[in-house]
Amino acid sequence: MFPLLRIRASWPALLGVAALMSFQGDPASFNKLKSGVEYRIFHLENGRYVRRPVLPPTGDPTYASRIGQIMSLHLEFRSAKDSVLMNSRKQSAGQPARVPLDTVRSVQRGGLEEAVALLQPGDSAVFRFNVDTIFAKSFGQPAPPFLRKAGKTFTVLAKVDKIQTKEAAMQEVQEMMRLEQEKEKQQSAQQLVKEDAQIQAYLKQNKLKALKTPGGVYYAITKASKGVKPTAGQTVAVLYKGMLLDGKVFDSSEKNGGKPIEFPLGQGRVIPGWDQGIAMLNKGSKAVLLIPSSLAYGARGAGADIPPNAILRFDVELVDVK
């Protein structure tokens, strides 16, 4: 599925930044629908924006010709004090929101859905709503106190990029996703090379002799054992201490009552680096695992203790194989 504009999104997810368009004109010049939506709509003609004629109180009569298509548009939300609250150009890599026009008319009048239904390709618009009304009808929740304190109105600026068939919109989004995946793949490859060099330098600095799994985890045996090696699907019990390369400990068995963690090996219950590294150990052995970020928590990191693209060190002991 391609991403569609979800008008009833949670408010925190809508907060963003910056200006979308520069014209707002005289506030007294807004036109008004029967539902109470106030609007000014402009269309680009000969290099300048020209105001579109006033629409009937019931809405745009040409809307029927757009039913079944997908509208791509950029949106900006502003408070009554003109503070920018959200700007779609600064979110989702600058991709526009996509509205399925076959559903826009099925919602309550007086909200954002009815407003965008007025727009045609190339249009720019300023919509003004009562802040309580738009939050009730479009977001399904009360207006936040800070917005009500700012004033009674809520302004939305819109710029329509295009209106397409569902098939064309799907193809466009798929191509966008393909390009984004290629970009992420290249960045991951560069990051892996960088981290591999960091791990090797760390091994040398700490005088550790390590082997490397086919998947990329370095493991240095610090206490050998002739115990059994676990296989995928078996439950293993592991004592551990996890830290960053600067020595900061972020987790350990001691923090969890001193008991080993148990999990089925190779089933994705732990980070990939653990599934790979523990599989190299014999029961009773101890080792240092050095795990690149791609096999740990990646570019997102984990909470406040594990930053993005963090190489992790785990001192582990395989105490049991069941």
Q: What is the pTM of this model?
A: 0.57
User: Which residue type sits at 27?
Assistant: P
Pair type for strands 70-78 and 48-51: unpaired
Q: What is the mean pLDDT of residues 290-316?
A: 94
* Per-residue pLDDT, 104: 54
User: Can you name the CATH fold of 192-321?
Assistant: Chitinase A; domain 3 (3.10.50)
Q: Domain spans of the chain?
A: 11-164, 192-321
What is the share, in percent, of the chain residues with pLDDT greater than 70? 89
Q: How confident is the model at residue 177 (pLDDT cuts 50, 70, 90)?
A: confident
* Per-residue pLDDT, 238: 97
Taking the C-alpha atoms of residue 209 and residue 143, their distance in angstroms, rounded to an integer, is 60
> Could you read off the pLDDT of 195-211 as tens digits, one per residue?
999 999 999 999 999 99
Taking the C-alpha atoms of residue 186 and residue 280, their distance in angstroms, rounded to an integer, is 29
CA dihedral 211, 216, 218, 221 (to 10 degrees): -60
* Per-residue pLDDT, 103: 60
Q: How confident is the model at residue 10 (pLDDT cuts 50, 70, 90)?
A: very low
> Could you read off the pLDDT of 142-173 as tens digits, one per residue?
999 999 999 999 999 999 999 999 899 899 88
What is the overall mean pLDDT for the chain? 86
Per-residue pLDDT at 19 exceeds 70:
no
* Per-residue pLDDT, 108: 63
Per-residue pLDDT at 139 exceeds 70:
yes
The Cβ-side half-sphere exposure at 319, using a 13 Å CA radius, reads 13
> Could you read off the pLDDT of 222-267 as tens digits, one per residue?
999 999 999 999 999 999 999 999 999 999 999 888 999 999 999 9
Q: What is the mean pLDDT of residues 288-303?
A: 94
User: Can you name the CATH fold of 11-164?
Assistant: Chitinase A; domain 3 (3.10.50)
113 close to 104: Cβ distance less than 8 angstroms:
yes
277 close to 315: Cβ distance less than 8 angstroms:
no
* Per-residue pLDDT, 97: 87
* Per-residue pLDDT, 15: 31
Per-residue pLDDT at 27 exceeds 60:
no
Fold equal for 11-164 and 192-321: yes
